[in-house]
Amino acid sequence: MFGYIRPFYSELRIREYHYYRGVYCGLCRAQGHCTGQWSRMTLSYDFAFLALVRLALRGGNPTGEQASRPVRFERRRCLPHPLRRRASLQRGTETDYVAACAALLNYHKLLDDRADEKGGRRLRAVLLSLPLGGMYRRARRRYPMLADEISRAMQAFNRTEKETVDSADRPAAAFGEVLAVLFSHGLEGHAATIARHVGFHVGKWLYLADAVDDFSEDVCRDRFNPLRCLYGDAALTEERKQALSVAMISELRSANDALALLSIDDEQCMPELRVLLDHMLTVALPLTTDALISGSYRQKEKNGADAPLPAATDD
């Protein structure tokens, strides 16, 4: 996806930071096992958030043989960190599921780039077709029903984008439905309802975040942006920025309200999971919203401010 859903590390305690990093590393390993080693290069922080929510909804990270299993970490070396063992979430049903989601959604993003982009971006999409196509096929073999659901949701989203001429909310809602599928697939009852609401509202926030971040560049390169349909090509006024900020924060509050209805098992998932989810929706993403609206987000990225996954000493 886009990589906007990341924690604000300076606001985390050390144990919460290590929990998040362990989930991220565990997802990287799960991608290598489920969809091929090259797929590990496509992992984004958005999928780490999906993994956190799914762990909470499932009450742990079960395997095929176990109806439930606690969240557990193991210390392992990997190619980027060969000298020091790092905490890594053990593989289970949910890590494999999120790995497949990443492959399926990245492939659909590739198809969009091939159809809509020009020049270097389209060439890049063409060159990546072969490796991402292989990842997609491996994920589809594991989760054929999920692949079909995502395909239908993406087709509806693409139609909505093409038909919309004066609204950013309609395509944002259509993209929210895509994430609602990812968050809720395979769940039942109360958990599925909560998952759909969280995915829907986080998806709307994510779509608007990308639109705000890319607005100036899209105007310069004459690319589609829902905010161009709504406001035209003029620079966003303070009044419009304030309206966008209110809309984005409202989506985060709706997602947090839905997640608050879930009773998270601290013994199975560890207390850090509850804290991380609250941090993401009430601290990190509101701060990201402010940075996007003010235009400081990309400058922070260039300067490495609160950069993702900074080096840390072992416990």
Q: What is the pLDDT of residues 74-116, one digit of tens each?
A: 888 877 777 788 889 999 999 999 999 999 998 888 777 666 6
Closest by Cα among 138, 115, 135, 137 to 126: 115
pLDDT at 305: 43
Cα four-point dihedral sign 210, 129, 114, 100: negative
pLDDT at 29: 92
pLDDT at 310: 36
pLDDT at 313: 35
pLDDT at 209: 96
Stretches where the chain sits below pLDDT 70 are 1, 64-67, 113-128, 164, 298-315
What are the domain boundaries of the chain? Answer: 9-303
Closest by Cα among 92, 95, 49, 54 to 192: 54
Closest by Cα among 56, 60, 135, 130 to 100: 135
Closest by Cα among 94, 27, 36 to 66: 94
Q: Within a 10 A sphere around the Cβ of 133, how many other Cβ atoms?
A: 13
Instruction: Tell how far CA 12 is from the center of its chain.
Output: 19
What's the whole-model pTM score? 0.89
Report d(CA 176, CA 193) in Å as an integer. Answer: 14
pLDDT, mean over the chain: 86
pLDDT at 1: 66
pLDDT at 235: 83
| DSSP H/E element including 52 | helix 45-58
pLDDT at 142: 93
* Ramachandran angles phi, psi of 84, nearest 5°: -135, 130
- For the domain with range 9-303, which CATH number is right: 3.30.420, 3.40.50, 1.20.120, 1.10.600? 1.10.600
